[in-house]
Structure 1
Amino acid sequence: MKGQEWYQADNVAEEYDDKRFSRGGRLIDRREKQAVLDALGPVDDRSILEVACGTGRFTVMLAERGADIVGLDISGPMLQQGRQKAAAADVDDHVEFMRGDAARLPFPDDHFDAVLAMRFFHLADTPAAFLAEMRRVAKEQVVFDTFNRFSTRSTYNWALPMGSRLYSRWEVDRLLDGAGLELTEATHDWVLPYGFYRKIPNELAASFRSIDTVIGGTPLGKKIASVSYWNTHV
């Protein structure tokens, strides 16, 4: 997986949320969390696995809403950040953080009601194998996101330190077919790339986000959106 060593550094874990979700990045955080909630629906008493949970942004949010959730990540420092968030939110009894490999999930078949992976597939070197594992342990639902090939992200992806794996709709359809998953809903967003929002103040970002949303609501906007959220069922 791309960036595996980088993600496991202590300083990266400690600074991760501040660097990505401060300033205009707050809009990104709110939108991603809403996308997860929209896809999963009510989570009270549902068992959920979050693959590549990182610092536990989504893990803790879902636990606060009553989910029984396991957050799995390969980075010990990232998991420690998640544990601190869970303790601060007083949801320790709903959350378990585990270090593990997404290519070999340590759970039996059909173990979770739903499996979630956000900000993961752009780093995946073998996406079909990862998605097949997620489907294996899911009884009902698999939710994930991708960065899109024909989008603004493609114009600067080459300049990123680790780059990103970009997906066309055809590639996603092929992944779903290979994993035996049926698409329930696809949502496409963010005409302007994430990196742009992170560089500007939150107040200014809100104005650009309004423009972004208007363009994104058009047929052209949906075609050039940089991010897609995929809600699938088993």
Structure 2
Amino acid sequence: MKGQEWYQADDIAEEYDDKRFSRGGQLIDRREKTAVLDALGPLEGKNVLEIACGTGRFTVMLAEQGANVVGLDISAAMLQQGRKKAHASGVDDSLEFLRGDAGRLPFPDDHFDTVVAMRFFHLADDPAAFLSEMKRVAREQIVFDTFNRFSSRSVYNWALPMGSRLYSANEVSVLLAKNSLELVDVEHDFLAPYGLYRAIPNVLASPIRTLDRAVGRLPLTDHLMSVSYWNVRV
């Protein structure tokens, strides 16, 4: 997986949320969490695995919604931030953080109702193999996102410290077909790149986001969106 060493650094883990989800990045955080909750539906009593859970943004949120959650990540530093976040939110008993490799998940077949993988596929060196492993441990559903090839994401992709894999909708469709996964729904969003939102305060980001969403409703804009949220059935 790309960026393993970068993500495992202590200073990166400590600053990760502040750098990406403060200022205008709060709009990104809110949208991503909404996409996950909309796809998963009622969570009370569900067993959920989050792949590449990082600092626990989604892991803690899912536990707060009543799910029994396991968050898996390769970075011990990121997991430590997640544990602090879970303790502060009072959901320690509803989730577990494990260090592990998404390519070799340490769980039996059909162990979880749902597997969630956000901010992961752009780092995957073998997405088909990773998706196959997620399918193996999921009974019902997989939810993930991808960054899109024909979008503003490609403008600053070269500047990322670990690079980034971009996908077309057709490539994702092929991945799903190879793993015999059924597409339930997909949502495309963010014409403007994430980097723009992170660089500006909310007072500027909010009107840009309003315009972004308005333009995004126009026909033929889906393939220009920066990110897609995929909900598939096993």
Q: TM-score, normalised by structure 2?
A: 0.99
C-alpha displacement at 1:219, in angstroms? 1.8
The question of whether the paired residues in 1 share the 8 Å contact of 2:6 and 2:162 is answered with no
Dislocated runs of 4+, deviation >6 Å: none
Where does residue 15 of structure 2 map in the other structure?
A: 15
C-alpha displacement at 1:132, in angstroms? 0.4
Where does residue 102 of structure 2 map in the other structure?
A: 102
The question of whether the paired residues in 1 share the 8 Å contact of 2:190 and 2:212 is answered with yes
Letter in 2 for 1:133: E
Letter in 2 for 1:69: V
Where does residue 49 of structure 1 map in the other structure?
A: 49
Q: What whole-Å deviation, never above 9, does each CA across 1:160-187 have from its counterpart, x for those lacking one?
A: 2222100011110111111121000000
C-alpha displacement at 1:196, in angstroms? 0.4
C-alpha displacement at 1:2, in angstroms? 0.9
Q: State the distance in 2 between where 1:102 and 1:225 align.
A: 27
Where does residue 58 of structure 2 map in the other structure?
A: 58
Where does residue 82 of structure 2 map in the other structure?
A: 82
Alignment partner of 1:232: what SS? strand
Q: State the distance in 1 between where 2:159 and 2:93 align.
A: 42
Where does residue 128 of structure 1 map in the other structure?
A: 128
Structure 1 segment 135-174 matched on structure 2, within 5 A: 135-174=135-174
Q: CA RMSD in A?
A: 0.7
Q: What whole-Å deviation, never above 9, does each CA across 1:91-129 have from its counterpart, x for those lacking one?
A: 011000000000000001100000000000001001011
Q: State the distance in 1 between where 2:16 and 2:8 align.
A: 11
Q: State the distance in 2 between where 1:189 and 1:80 align.
A: 31
Identity %: 71
Q: What whole-Å deviation, never above 9, does each CA across 1:195-228 have from its counterpart, x for those lacking one?
A: 0000000111000000000011112321200100
Q: What whole-Å deviation, never above 9, does each CA across 1:18-62 have from its counterpart, x for those lacking one?
A: 000011000000000000001111111000000000000000001
Alignment coverage as a number of residue pairs: 234
Q: TM-score, normalised by structure 1?
A: 0.99
Letter in 1 for 2:37: L
Where does residue 216 of structure 2 map in the other structure?
A: 216
The question of whether the paired residues in 1 share the 8 Å contact of 2:147 and 2:226 is answered with yes
Where does residue 201 of structure 1 map in the other structure?
A: 201
Q: What whole-Å deviation, never above 9, does each CA across 1:107-158 have from its counterpart, x for those lacking one?
A: 0110000000000000100101100000100000000000001111112212
Is there any run of 5+ residues in structure 2 with no aligned partner, and where? Answer: none
Where does residue 93 of structure 1 map in the other structure?
A: 93
